[in-house]
């Protein structure tokens, strides 16, 4: 049976770290919409330039743009047995768009669909965001307080300099939370009412959250 998983939760709640582990565990792709959008921005495409204006302000990227990117990605062959979708949907409009996308790509498939909500306090997430650093080469993510690199400022894997994303500051982070609470939080009730939601405590070590996640998605 094809397995389709989506993860919900505020920025920096740990979805990316856990979905990478889970994608390797199941053997199918982790579709990170943030990475897809950043690739468009890095390529300086027209869509990328539009997306950047919204991301820099902590706002949601226009629905049609995100939907087109997601739809094209989910049609690729490596998604035929399943996928993990991280960062989409982020609004009710996107949730309905995802349903339409899934109807189109899953015409002949039996599907196990599940939404998982990562629950954690906002102030703890603010701290995570402002202390987050990443490797520009391999994409590894670190936290100066909870997961510091072995050598200050250097990636453990590649040895290159770690960078801080421009939007990883407190002002932008709080704007992103305001957007999240307004646009995305209602999805928790939406999927709960459809009996498609599981909730896990996202506070704790990576291994602790991983064990909680496995219990609800296997």
Two tokens at 174?
Answer: 């709080």
Residue 171: CA atoms inside 13 Å, Cβ hemisphere, count?
Answer: 3
Angle at CA of residue 150, ends 149 and 151, nearest 5°: 90
Looking at the annotation, which residues are catalytic?
A: 15, 90, 132, 165, 176
Local structure of residue 183 (DSSP, 8 states): I
Cβ atoms of residues 91 and 55 within 8 Å: no
CA distances from 5 to 35, 127, 167 (A): 17, 27, 27
Closest CA to 73 of 99, 36, 106: 36
Asked if residue 165 lies in contact with residue 132, where contact means CB atoms within 8 angstroms, the answer is yes
How far is the first Cα of the chain from the last one, in angstroms, to the nearest whole number?
12
Phi and psi angles of residue 56, each rounded to the nearest 5 degrees, phi first: -65, -25
């Amino acid at each position: 049976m094809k397995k389709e998983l989506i993860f919900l939760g505020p920025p920096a709640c740990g979805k990316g770290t856990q979905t990478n582990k889970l994608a390797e565990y199941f053997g199918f792709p982790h579709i990170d919409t943030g990475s897809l959008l950043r690739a468009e921005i890095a390529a300086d495409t027209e869509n990328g330039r539009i997306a950047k204006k919204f991301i820099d302000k902590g706002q949601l990227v226009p629905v049609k743009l995100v939907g087109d990117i997601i739809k094209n990605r989910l049609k690729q062959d490596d998604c035929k047995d399943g996928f993990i979708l991280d960062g989409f949907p982020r609004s009710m409009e996107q949730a309905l768009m995802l349903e339409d996308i899934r109807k189109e790509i899953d015409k002949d498939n039996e599907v196990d669909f599940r939404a998982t909500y990562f629950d954690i306090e906002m102030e703890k997430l603010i701290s995570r965001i402002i202390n987050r650093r990443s490797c520009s080469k391999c994409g590894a993510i670190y936290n100066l307080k909870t997961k510091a690199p072995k050598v200050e400022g250097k990636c453990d894997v590649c040895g290159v300099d770690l960078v801080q994303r421009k939007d990883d500051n407190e002002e932008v982070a709080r704007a992103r939370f305001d957007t999240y609470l307004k646009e995305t939080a209602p999805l928790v009730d939406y999927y709960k009412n459809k009996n498609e939601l599981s909730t896990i405590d996202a506070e704790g070590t990576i291994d602790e959250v991983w064990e909680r996640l496995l219990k609800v998605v296997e």
